[in-house]
Amino acid sequence: MLSQVWKSCHSSVCCLNFLNERGVSIDTLTGFKVNHSLVTTDYAFYIPKAKKVEISFVDEDANTVVTSMRIPYQEFINDLRIGIFDNQTGYSIFKLDFPDFREIPGLKLCERRKFQIGNEVVMLAFSSGCPNLSLRSGIISSFFSNSQGNRFFHFDGLSCLGNSGAPIIDPENMQVIGIVSRRNTPASQSYKLLSDIITANIDELSKTQGIVKYGDVDPIQVLIANQNQVKQLANNLYRYTAQGTTHVVMLDQILSYFNENSSHEYNNERVKQEFDISLS
């Protein structure tokens, strides 16, 4: 069953690689195609120092790039963004109606709203620093809602940085039932808090450099170097340590968007057909 999920769905999942002004990768997310749109996590709006985003789809071997495109980051978030979404939704939608991506198949969103704890599900995702797409299985282990009323479930299976935005798929029907939102977890919030504290420490220490010296040694510089080492260690642990429980946002809001959009497209096509018939 899991191999069938791979065969049916791998070609619709992409890597979003965010590059700085020197062309160096500074972050990665996962996304997937639905109709003529790209769906990913709402974190795609908030990548500091990103200048370009590279969108890549791979072949069945999980590595060979089938098609890829680089887009200026500002164009990506300003011109290709569909609708206005804030930091509370857990997802974002972008236009993907480019010739390079028209042959890429889209995934289908599941209309079902209720699931059982213990149901087996599958994640297809790219991980930070890795160019290959991966399949991971797990179960739905719990449900909860946040303060904004958005519904989530826990994916009880390993996830890594870069998995955010990945589809969670029901292997029974090959449909998407949720979107990975790994960066809204307590671990992510703790890392951000630790990083902010270390940055504040370095800023304060920098103000007193050169005031005190022991021989040729500036103890403040030693403390700054120590803080940078701790920050690098925390960053590496966060980036490369897998978690066993992942937040997955459910599709309530995104289904409403796509259903409304499909209805508008259907009505426009129907009006066009009736107009063509009247002319003939």
pLDDT digits (tens, 9 = 90+) for 106-154: 999 999 888 999 999 999 999 987 889 999 999 999 999 988 888 999 9
Residues 56, 67 contacting (CB under 8 angstroms): yes
Cβ neighbours of 204 (radius 10 Å): 12
Residues 245, 182 contacting (CB under 8 angstroms): no
What is the pLDDT at residue 242?
66
- What are the extents of the domains in the chain? 2-184+242-271, 186-238
Model confidence at 191, pLDDT cuts 50, 70, 90, reads: confident
Mean pLDDT within 31-55: 93
Virtual torsion, Cα 178, 104, 71, 164, nearest 10 deg: 20
What is the pLDDT at residue 67?
97
Cβ neighbours of 92 (radius 10 Å): 23
pTM over 0.85: no
pLDDT of 100 over the 80 cut = yes
pLDDT of 222 over the 60 cut = yes
Q: Quick one: fold of 2-184+242-271?
A: Thrombin, subunit H (2.40.10)
CA atoms within 13 A on the CB side of 11: 13
Model confidence at 179, pLDDT cuts 50, 70, 90, reads: very high
